Structure 1
Amino acid sequence: MEHWLDKATQGVDPDSPDAFLHIFLNLMVMLPWAALFWWSVFFVVVGALLGWWRGRVVEGIVWAVVLGPIGWIVVLGRPRPKPRPEPPPLPRRR
């Protein structure tokens, strides 16, 4: 933990008014952004596939974007939509 704190506070004057901003930006630089991006893409693709399987593609994508893999459980837990009733065929013209 000491190593992380040293990296976060490197080059920051703790008495300056914008010290929090500099520490926050130093912490953001340490995050693996590429891995986070690709995991998010994976979650959305799986959410879209599960939504397609359950008849709710857009809902699967939205839940996967908002909740990640927990959104998959939400999509799987919802019942399938009922098919719309089709009207009876029109009578033939004579």
Structure 2
Amino acid sequence: MDELLNKAMNGVDPDAPGAFWQVFLNLMGIVPWGALFWWSVGFVVVGAALGWWRGRLLEGVVWAALLGPIGWFVVLARPRTKPGAGPPPLPPKTSSKRPV
């Protein structure tokens, strides 16, 4: 923890007005952005594959982009869609008048 604190406070005067932003920028410099980007791309690719398999490609991409691997379970929990499937047909309309 001391090493991280030293990296965050490197070159920062705690009494300066912009000290918060300098610490924030120092911490953002430590984050492995390249690895995070490629992990996110991998999550979306797997989410797209699962969504395609379940007939919900766009949902798979969106859930994986928003929630990462947790989005995979959201896609898997939803029922499969059948191609061309829609709501069941309505019953035929009958006359409201009853024969006497």
TM range (shorter): 0.7 to 0.9
Q: Do 2:55 and 2:82's aligned partners in 1 also have CA atoms closer than 8 Å?
A: no
Task: Look up the match of 1:36.
Answer: 36
Larger C-alpha radius of gyration, 1 or 2? Answer: 2
Matched residue SS, 2:64 = helix
What are the superposed Cα offsets for residues 2-38 of structure 1, whole Å, 9 maximum, x if unpaired? 0100010010010111111000000000011111010
- Root-mean-square deviation (CA, aligned residues, Å) is 1.4
| Runs (5+) with no aligned partner, structure 1 | 87-94
Matched, 1:79 2:79: yes
Cα distance in 1 for residues equivalent to 2:12 and 2:38? 32
What are the superposed Cα offsets for residues 54-85 of structure 1, whole Å, 9 maximum, x if unpaired? 00000000000000000000000000124435
Cα distance in 1 for residues equivalent to 2:33 and 2:85? 47
Task: Look up the match of 2:3.
Answer: 3
Cα distance in 1 for residues equivalent to 2:78 and 2:13? 52
Matched residue SS, 1:11 = coil
Give, as a single letter, the amino acid of the residue that structure 1 aligns with 2:4. Answer: W
Cα distance in 2 for residues equivalent to 1:65 and 1:85? 27
Alpha carbons of structure 1 residues 85 and 5: separation in structure 2 relative to 1, 3 Å: closer
Which aligned segments of 4 or more residues in structure 1 are displaced greater than 6 angstroms? none
Cα distance in 1 for residues equivalent to 2:3 and 2:12? 15
| Runs (5+) with no aligned partner, structure 2 | 87-100
- TM-score by structure 1 length? 0.87
